[in-house]
Amino acid sequence: MINAFVPIKTARASTDVIAQIREAIFSGRYQPGDRLPTEREMARQFGVSRVTVRDALRGLEAAGLVQVKVGGQGGPYVAHPDLSLLTESLGTHFHLQGTTFQELAEARLALETTATRLASERATEEDLKELEAAIHGPIRPPEGAAAKSLDFHTALVRAAHNRALLIMFMATRALIQEAFDELHARQPDMAESARKTHGELYEAIRAREADRAVSIMRDHLYEFAERAERAAKKERRPGRRARAGRTLRD
């Protein structure tokens, strides 16, 4: 049998085991769903104990790279991508850093204006149908108008056909949803305003007018940031607890 890995010689053995397995996955030698060598075989190839290999596999599993299965076909497998892990990790960091809804809105400017320009250039007929459905389709409880508004933004980023942008957007979608839910509940006119702007965006993207689409999206996101700030000012009045303008961890 040809060895996939080389013996470990450093004191931090599990760290080096992790590094080699990560490289083997990222280089494509192992694909999602592939079974990795057994703990016993990896211990032999790395020249370490099975305990060290097991510790490394736990670390890789926590990072979402490996899934250790039990049973007859058990053992370590290369995990399939799970965006929820990234979402949870980003959410934790945002909460711990005290990120505000306003800061989230500013970050969306960079991502979604870029996505809007690309969507204007790359959107397919199927993408346009999805955008239109997100505007005119029925609002289904309990999700409501806030979720429908977010569906449009999701469809727009998807229409950019850029995986990096889509991953970054989807990883923050839960946080954006939190902001949408709160602001839509406090500002009932937001739903109709968003629907109108989404219609304008759709028409600009369909016409391949990238500059106009980007301008509409920029104004749309600035409006979102202003709404968050207005809500924050109301909550900062004496005797009221901050909510919409609060940090995400409050």
Exposure of 181 in the CB half-sphere (CA atoms within 13 A): 10
Residue 86 banded pLDDT, cuts 50, 70, 90: confident
- Please list the residues that pair with 69 across neighbouring strands: 75
The DSSP 8-state label assigned to residue 79 in this structure reads P
In percent, how much of the chain has pLDDT > 70?
88
Domains and CATH numbers, the chain: 13-78 (1.10.10.10), 84-235 (1.20.120.530)
- Nearest of 114, 219, 215, 110 to residue 161 by alpha carbon: 114
Report yes or no on whether pTM surpasses 0.95. Answer: no
Neighbours of 107 (CB within 10 A): 17
- Cis before 76 (ω within 30): no
**When comparing pLDDT for 162 and 171, which is higher?**
162
